[in-house]
């Protein structure tokens, strides 16, 4: 007879929430809905014409559209004309994409001889693979995350069975970073742990580390031996492309090993193409080679080849001088429009409330700010004023325009926030 070549008895790696009842899909537990995505649906179903969507982190222009960037359109056109095959690329994507993205995040002079990288389906794919990599390296991995952080960080960690160690981050009174508290909590991190940091434009708070804070974090990392992981999904949305990466660059050049999950969804406006990069900066060539093969292995296990279309467009834009210049101009316009909405909203609220307690809105950077409202107040904003923001009072600044800023300001004050 035929020889059996499939090895028997591989263990199921973790508990699943499904209960086998003789029918494949008869599960007894509904998965919790993602709060941000549930809000998208709620907004869609609201028939009120004056509704304002400040929920999911998608850039919108003054007319409420999420436009395709011209530079991306041009690259797409060029690709359509010139691409001759859709056959597979490498498991880690193309080296050109990795190289161009590392140049973008870590600077064009960064020595890439010790970097291992893999293209991933979006920034979320990079985050997921990074956690898996961490768990492969250390089965007792703990991940330190800011309190609060992007809810999907927590959801993925829970799904993977990786313990979370929250560190204090946001001062709810000043709406800025409570840096002493953050450092106090991070003092518990040891070698083998991952400390997750947002590269810029912290999601959900909008409050960010300052240059001296990054220095102190670097010192802590060197002392503890913990591995930093940077999630950078909004480069170019805060203070500028270079400025937003300054902390990350300093960190990478100071510590032996860094994991970076980068997203192209927002700064290239290619959300649905699922384009991201996971990079590990290693301390020596052997570690680098091991990391590279492990990243390719992880891709193979989870989805095989990463999506190529978005990565190719990004590569084309970054490698062509003119396209790159156009893209940088478009990105800068996006950044400026969010900045001016921030200052408008802060000024409007100062007028209406007679206090400057909303000044933080102008100081925050990126797409989001956490308002500091209770979930009842967020509910009132939604029910009485048709203003949609995430339950934790995170608002997407880009969901506003100069006409809706005064409407929101009035609603905020009327809800007693
Ligand atoms: C967000 O935080 O709203 C974005 O990152 C979109 C998402 O996937 O949650």
Q: How far apart are CA 251 and CA 279, in angstroms?
A: 14
Helix axes 309-319 and 95-106, enclosed angle (nearest 10) = 60
Residues 6+ apart with CB under 8 A from 352: 409, 410, 413
What was the pLDDT predicted at 9? 65
> For the whole model, what pTM was predicted?
0.94
| Residues classed as catalytic | 150, 231, 233, 266
Q: Kindly give the distance from the C-alpha atom of residue 57 to the centroid of ligand 1, in angstroms, as a whole number.
A: 5
| Cβ atoms < 10 Å from Cβ of 260 | 26
Determine the number of helices (DSSP H) and then strands (DSSP E) in the chain.
15, 13
Lining residues, ligand 1, CB within 6 Å? 36, 56-57, 150, 152, 203
> For ligand 1, what atom is nearest to the CA of residue 233?
5
What was the pLDDT predicted at 23? 58
Q: Which residues of the chain have pLDDT under 70?
A: 1, 7, 9-29
What was the pLDDT predicted at 145? 98
**Which residue is listed with tokens 């102008």?**
362
What was the pLDDT predicted at 2? 75
What was the pLDDT predicted at 6? 74
Over the stretch 304-347, which tens digit does the pLDDT of each residue have? 999 999 999 999 999 999 999 999 999 999 999 999 999 999 99
Q: How far apart are CA 412 and CA 384, in angstroms?
A: 11
What was the pLDDT predicted at 165? 97
Q: Kindly give the distance from the C-alpha atom of residue 62 to the centroid of ligand 1, in angstroms, as a whole number.
A: 20
What was the pLDDT predicted at 163? 96
Q: List the residue whose alpha carbon is closest to atom 1 of ligand 1.
A: 57
Q: Kindly give the distance from the C-alpha atom of residue 202 to the centroid of ligand 1, in angstroms, as a whole number.
A: 12
Q: How far apart are CA 360 and CA 358, in angstroms?
A: 5
| Cβ atoms < 10 Å from Cβ of 415 | 18
């Amino acid at each position: 007879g035929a020889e059996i070549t499939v090895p028997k008895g591989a263990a199921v790696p973790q508990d699943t929430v499904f209960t086998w009842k003789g029918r494949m899909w008869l599960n007894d537990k509904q998965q919790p809905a993602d709060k941000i995505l549930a809000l998208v649906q709620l907004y869609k179903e609201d028939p009120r014409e004056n509704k304002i969507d400040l929920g999911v982190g998608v850039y919108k222009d003054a007319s409420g559209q999420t436009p395709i960037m011209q530079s991306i359109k041009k690259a797409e056109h060029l690709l359509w004309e010139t691409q001759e095959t859709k056959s597979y690329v490498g498991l880690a994507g193309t080296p050109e994409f990795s190289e161009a993205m590392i140049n973008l995040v870590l600077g064009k002079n960064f020595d890439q001889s010790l970097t291992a990288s893999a293209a991933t389906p979006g920034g979320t794919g990079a985050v997921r693979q990074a956690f898996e990599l961490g768990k492969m390296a250390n089965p007792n991995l703990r991940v330190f995350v800011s309190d609060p952080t992007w809810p999907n960080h927590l959801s993925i960690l829970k799904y993977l069975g990786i313990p979370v160690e929250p560190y204090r981050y946001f001062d709810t009174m000043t709406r800025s970073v409570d840096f002493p508290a953050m450092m106090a909590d991070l003092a518990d991190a040891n070698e083998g742990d991952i400390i997750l940091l947002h590269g810029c434009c912290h999601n959900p708070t909008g409050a960010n580390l300052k240059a001296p804070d990054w220095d102190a974090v670097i010192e802590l990392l060197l002392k503890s031996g913990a591995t930093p992981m940077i999630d950078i999904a909004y480069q170019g949305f805060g203070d500028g492309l270079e400025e937003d990466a300054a902390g990350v660059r300093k960190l990478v050049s100071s510590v032996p090993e860094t994991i970076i999950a980068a997203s192209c969804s927002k700064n290239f406006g290619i959300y649905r193409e699922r384009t991201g990069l996971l990079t590990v900066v290693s301390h020596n060539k052997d570690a680098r080679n091991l990391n590279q093969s492990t990243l390719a292995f992880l891709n193979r296990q989870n989805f095989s080849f990463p999506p190529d279309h978005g990565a190719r467009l990004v590569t084309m834009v970054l490698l062509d001088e003119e396209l790159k210049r156009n893209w940088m101009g478009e990105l800068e316009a996006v950044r400026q429009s969010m900045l001016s909405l921030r200052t408008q909203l802060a000024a409007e609220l100062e007028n209406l409330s007679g206090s400057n307690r909303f000044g933080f809105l102008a100081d925050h950077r990126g797409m989001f700010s956490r308002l500091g409202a209770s979930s009842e107040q967020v509910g009132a904003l939604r029910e009485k004023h048709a203003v949609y923001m995430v339950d934790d009072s995170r608002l997407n600044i880009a969901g506003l325009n100069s006409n809706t800023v005064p409407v929101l300001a009035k609603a905020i004050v009327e809800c007693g926030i």
